[in-house]
Structure 1
Amino acid sequence: MNIRLVKQEDLDKQLYNSCIHYATNGNIYGYDWFLNATAKEWDVLVEGDKWVSVMPLPRRKNWLGRTYLEQPRLVPELAVYTVKPISPKRIQSFWDAVPEEYRSGELTVEPASVPQKPGRFDVEAAPGTVLFLKDPYETIIGDFSPAYHEGLLRAEDAELRPIGSFKPETFADLWLEVNGKTADNEWTYHAMQRIMYQVLHRSWGGTQAVQDKKGNILAMVFLVYSHSRIFPLYQVETPAGKKVGAMTYLWDNILKMHAERNLKLKREDILV
């Protein structure tokens, strides 16, 4: 298997992003623009001249100048992305091909990309269970927890209502207000805006929100549609929203809108 390292500055964006787009295990987090907004420094392992499989390697250096793998912030999972069959042999070959200059590190990847022998790396499978939306709405929520249904009752009593899309700045401002200003949160505040604008530029998603009867925004979710999947990249709920089940009401509306469609998401993302 012909696997080689390609440095970030030598990346063929068209071939790379095409592999991410058509990969059996593709996701939004692998695209070059997403990694540029989060990892900053990363290389990629490539299989074949036509880039049929790729594995991004987000990297950092420690105080000794040694290079190691590090999971980027705002990236819950990566993968050995491939348009070929996902086999344990192919996955292991990629991990074995990581150059020796990467001395150690940790990555979280989608479950099929976990190697049988991780060697010098700590590799975790991304958690989560799939929720398929191809069924009717009543079937989708049929086994949701009592807390979910209690939240809907509280939202109904509070007369909440869904509202349209907002600019990334509006979302980010509310997120920062709720989470507080720290150095890490300031970085996230700016990074999420860069990513949201990239998504809007491609017409891949947008904001869903809920307000109370006075017009106060109580909960927001930024959704991305990619690879027949819904990715809730960021979500925020105000303290007042928590009291009246705003996020539950928001997700319930999203599920109603997308029921009986060939889409899926992670069950844990909707806080069931």
Structure 2
Amino acid sequence: MLPRLLRYSEIDLAAWDACVHSAQQVVPYACSWWLQATAGRWDALVEVDEQTGRYLSLWPLPVKWRPWGQQVYQPPFTQQLGILGAAWPLLRGVATIAGHYTSFYTQLNDANGLFSLQDSAPARQLSLTWQTRQTYHLPLDQPYATVRAAYAADYRRRLRLNEAAIVPLLVTATDDAEPVLTLFQQTKGKAADLRSRHYRMMRRLVTSLRKQQVLQVLEVRQPETDELLAGALFVHYRTRLVYLFAAASEAGKKVGAPVLLLDSQIRRYAGTPELILDFEGGMIPSIARFFANFGAVPVPYAALSFTQRPWYLKWMR
């Protein structure tokens, strides 16, 4: 059975979330409440059990409206989507939806695998292209001492120095994500090209994550002044611990506060069967090295795209 294209108004959100939660692919970004916070509305390819109405598989397709047609895009703060649930031919799915969108860009999940498109008829017809992206994963099924032994020597030294300090820096949990967002805006926001709408979107997402009880906000503050040195937002969903958003001041970087934040989570969850810390990034070399220094390994996933001319331009050669 091939999936069919559903518009947002046709999607059964309860069946949707049941499928996402039971899927072999662990993709928190595909939950309806995550997509509602970051995309608002979306189309989807959905395979439905006609007798029970249960969703057997799905592929979220966030859509933007433009004067020249609809575009499928990857929303901010949504690293991976792709096919969840029972497997079916991805390229046949692309061929099914191709005529509905003038442009298409989506990032699959790392369980969908990589593949070659060169010899496929749908790929040639659509000028479909793909590129390899990567995130970094650190399995947390081993004891903390084993995981820590794989850290870079400098990270282990920083941790020992902090542990031996008269007044060590401490990692504390908080319910308030606003200081982390403010610190990011003050330090990296301009370079990251985040606008006001992105911070509004993140605040909506934080509200949803808190409601779903999957959000963890951690901070490192300067003991004498209470200055925020670094903070991070983590999402614990099924067998994934996602390093979603983080910020650090220059003073925080100098004292290794980001290392303390991640080490605290590794210490907390080490020895948990099947749990993976997803660093949610790694395309920038310096950031990739930061993640690799914890012993994390690169994990590839694919990004697909195509562009079609509007109907009124197709006569042009």
TM superposition score category, shorter chain reference: 0.7 to 0.9
Alignment pair present for 1:60 and 2:80: no
Q: Structure 1 CA distance, aligned partners of 2:65 and 2:130?
A: 19
Render the CA deviation track for 1:154-213: whole Å, top value 9, x for unaligned.
Answer: 645572111121313233222222234697332221111111111111111221111222
The structure-2 alpha-carbon separation of the partners of 1:41 and 1:13, relative to structure 1 and needing over 3 Å to count, comes to closer
Counterpart in 2 of 1:264? 276
The range that moved more, 28-37 or 106-115, is: 106-115
Offset, 1:56: 0.7
The answer to whether the 8 A contact 2:20-2:31 is kept is yes
Q: Structure 1 CA distance, aligned partners of 2:170 and 2:189?
A: 26
Alignment pair present for 1:178 and 2:187: yes
| AA partner of residue 109 (structure 2) | E
Alignment pair present for 1:139 and 2:151: no
The structure-2 alpha-carbon separation of the partners of 1:94 and 1:148, relative to structure 1 and needing over 3 Å to count, comes to farther
Alignment pair present for 1:189 and 2:161: no
Counterpart in 1 of 2:7? 7
What is the alpha-carbon root mean square deviation over aligned residues?
Answer: 2.4
| AA partner of residue 36 (structure 1) | Q
Alignment pair present for 1:51 and 2:61: no
SS of residue paired to 1:24: coil
Offset, 1:26: 2.8
The structure-2 alpha-carbon separation of the partners of 1:268 and 1:99, relative to structure 1 and needing over 3 Å to count, comes to closer
Counterpart in 1 of 2:19? 19
Q: Structure 2 CA distance, aligned partners of 1:129 and 1:233?
A: 13
Larger Rg: 2
Q: How many residues align?
A: 267
The structure-2 alpha-carbon separation of the partners of 1:147 and 1:267, relative to structure 1 and needing over 3 Å to count, comes to farther
Larger RCO, structure (CA 8 Å, separation 6 or more): 2
| AA partner of residue 130 (structure 1) | H
Q: Structure 2 CA distance, aligned partners of 1:51 and 1:172?
A: 36
Alignment pair present for 1:77 and 2:87: no
Counterpart in 2 of 1:161? 170
Q: Structure 2 CA distance, aligned partners of 1:104 and 1:250?
A: 39
Render the CA deviation track for 1:61-116: whole Å, top value 9, x for unaligned.
Answer: 445x122321111111112011x2x4xx5333323322412233222112343564
Offset, 1:136: 0.8
Alignment pair present for 1:28 and 2:50: no
Q: Structure 2 CA distance, aligned partners of 1:124 and 1:21?
A: 28
Q: Structure 2 CA distance, aligned partners of 1:164 and 1:9?
A: 39
Counterpart in 2 of 1:130? 137
Percent of residue pairs bearing the same amino acid type:
24
Q: Structure 1 CA distance, aligned partners of 2:39 and 2:129?
A: 18
Offset, 1:4: 0.7
